[in-house]
Structure 1
Amino acid sequence: MGAGLGAVGVALAGCSGGSGPVRRLRLATGPEGGPYNAFGKALAQAVAASVSRLEIVPVSTSASVNNLRKLDDGSVELALAMADAAEDAVLGRESFTRPAAVTALARVYVNYTHLLVPADGPVRSVRDLAGRPVAAGATGSGVQVVAGRVLRSAGLSDGPAATREQQLGLAASAAALREGAVDAVFWSGGVPTPALSDLARELPLRFLPLDDHVGALRQSHGPVYTAVTLPAGVYGLAEPVGTIGVGNYLLARDDVPQGATRELLRVVFERWSDLLREVTAGARLEPRFAISTGQVPLHPGAVTYYRSVYG
């Protein structure tokens, strides 16, 4: 492993301009079968199909918080993460004991927070989760961050009303709901998320509205949270359901060469429809959207790219 990481370092250090060795960048994604993993693989394929001197190497992880730690410790050069976790990393709060070496390349799409329960069950609101077992995202995931904040906002994180949070990834969460091992599942991802579409065909689901919690989350954690809507038709929904939106950032260490970040962004903007096809339906990637990265500073190479292309 040490020799392999050393080879990556040599490739990074020895490449300049449009010639020379291929520059390999490791990208922390998410678990196999998840949207980050799908985006990472699609990005690696898009870069390989271009004339770029880059090679993207997707690395499977438990997602956002884990990715940010890997980015900070230098075990990857690129990462995907939810905006709330990324701001925590930059500011050195919550899961991070100090500010992390993290910069943004683009805000690429919005995650929709899903809170789903069996349609024929007793849970009809967040308050009804008091004392119940809830799948609240895998350890080190962004789902875990937003789920914990929603439950705190609802007064369900401690005391006699506290839910019994279980740290499960998406596949395990779906299986636990199907088997009755949990009464609810939190998930944050694109719409529709294929695994939840599959689950909805097996088990009638109710999606609980969360938009009433947006104001409290914004007050406590800033404008990374927005009100969005799960549209009618997805997952068999007869009516839209208001929920919480959180941006997803493509991130880089600040020591990644500017030429590499500019070349990567060129591919991202040329192939964005391919990158988002398996992640979230109907999304578009636009510069005014992409540069909205809040407290997370843009990488200098990203700043140069946006100025050169869009003025």
Structure 2
Amino acid sequence: MVAAFAALVLLGAMAGCTSRASEWTGEEYTIAGGGSTGVYFDYGGHLADELSRSLDIRMSVDETAGSVDNLLRVSAGDALIGFAQGDAAADAVAGAGAFPEPLAIEAVARLYDEYLHVVVRGDSEIEGIADLAGKDVSLGAENSGVNVIASRVLDAAGVDAASVRNAQLDLSGSIEAMERGEIDGFFWVGGLPTPGIAELAERMPVRLLPIEQEWVVEVNEQYSHAYRPADVPEGMYGLRESAPTMAVPNYLVTSASTPDGVVRDVLSGLFDARPRIAEEVPAAALLDRRQAIFTGPVALHPGAIEYYRDLRD
């Protein structure tokens, strides 16, 4: 009986750890996340915990400026994997926009869609994007995907970005500045709901400025066709009606030089952990094996191709 019990304990311990590929040669690994009040950081923290347990490694999430910063960190080898908006990732592999030359970045999975939020106070006189001219507005932190989309939307709406007094704050800074009355509004791109904005809406009424569908079409024609019209539903953040906006896919990315076995292990852990992470991060529930392969124009990493192909065999 004692021997049988010991065997069960051993099996239980073994079940908690997944056999990992031999390519895991480091002692500690990092996920490039985002601001501490955003979905990237929240998702990344839970994923790091899950991979640490299942692969018996040390993995953590770093607070970063967002997509552009994450892509640079992953390319430089400062992070194993990172989160990035599809538009910023497309720029990275093309050597366009914020990237003077192409980065050797490949995709691990398409995770979920992110939504543009243009947040103002509930009692603000600002009714539309055109009203942002001459106002104090955060267009996102430097090296963030938020900054990329904000400038593109302002241009499509006919607003000169130079006419907006740009505070260049991350999400945490934007929320704090709005509560202190230092800014009139801020741009954010993230999953639904974004924790920081949900918490802000509990402390003070907020509204989201509408994004016209024609602007989405114009931005798509000029850039990577990564965007689609979308709506933030009524009730979210206390909204009295749905808010038209635009959405962009979000990718998990890695360096092209990452070993195939490491990428397969990451994907196995990612999908296995999905229901547990989704209990804390609703956006994680949107991860879907059938949609995860659609990361164009960013190529799938060979290790990811092997993982998804094995699922079909």
Q: How does 1:149-160 map to 2 (within 5 A)?
A: 149-158=152-161
> C-alpha displacement at 1:165, in angstroms?
1.5
SS at match of 2:182: coil
Rg larger for: 2
CA 1:285–1:211 in 2, change beyond 3 Å: closer, same or farther?
Answer: farther
Counterpart secondary structure, 1:289: coil
Asked if 2 retains the 8 angstrom alpha-carbon contact of 1:72 and 1:101, the reply is yes
> Counterpart of 1:251?
253
Indicate the SS of the match to 2:158: coil
The 2-side partners of 1:282 and 1:249 are apart by 12
Q: SS of the residue aligned with 1:109? A: strand
Between the aligned partners of 2:182 and 2:278, the Cα distance in structure 1 is: 33
- Structure 1 counterpart of 2:236: 234
Query: CA separation of 1:61/1:93 partners in 2, compared to 1, >3 Å: closer, same or farther?
Result: same
- Structure 1 residue runs of 5 or longer lacking an equivalent are 1-14
* Aligned positions, number: 294
Output aligned runs, 1:51-70, within 5 Å: 52=55, 54-70=57-73
- Given candidates 85, 102, 106, the residue that maps to 1:103 is 106
Pair 1:20–1:147, CA change in 2 (3 A): closer
Residue 82 to residue 272, structure 1, CA distance change in 2 (3 Å): same
**Could you tell me how far 1:83 is from its partner in structure 2?**
0.9
Higher mean displacement: 29-38 or 108-117: 29-38
State the TM-score, normalizing by the size of structure 2: 0.87
Give the corresponding residue for 1:261. 263
Map Cα deviations across residues 171-212 of structure 1 (whole Å, 9 max, x no partner).
211122222221111111111112212211222212111142
Corresponding residue for residue 285 of structure 1 = 287
d(CA) in 2 for partners of 1:157, 1:41:
37
* Pairing 1:42–2:43 present: no
**8 Å CA contact 1:127, 1:154 repeated in 2:** yes
| Residue matched to 1:127 | 130
Distance 2:23 2:296 in 1: 35
- Would you say the 8 A contact 2:20–2:265 is kept in 1? no
- Aligned partners of 1:188, 1:137: CA distance in 2, in Å? 9
**Superposition RMSD on alpha carbons, in Å?**
2.2
Name which of 300, 303, 312 aligns with 1:301: 303
Question: How big is each residue's C-alpha offset from its partner over 1:217-268, in whole Å with a ceiling of 9 and x where there is no partner?
Answer: 1111132111121111111112111111111111111111101100110111
Task: Give the structure-1-normalised TM-score.
Answer: 0.88
Structure 1 CA distance for aligned equivalents of residues 130 and 24 of structure 2: 59
Equivalent residues of 2:24, 2:262 under 8 A apart: no
| Paired residue type of 1:47 | L
CA contact (8 A) 1:23 1:53 kept: no
Cα distance in structure 1, aligned partners of 2:187 and 2:142? 13
Partner of 1:78: 81
Distance 2:196 2:159 in 1: 27
- Pair 1:26 & 2:30 matched: yes
Could you tell me how far apart the structure 2 residues matched to 1:282 and 1:260 are?
A: 21
Give distance in 1, aligned partners of 2:115 and 2:178. 19
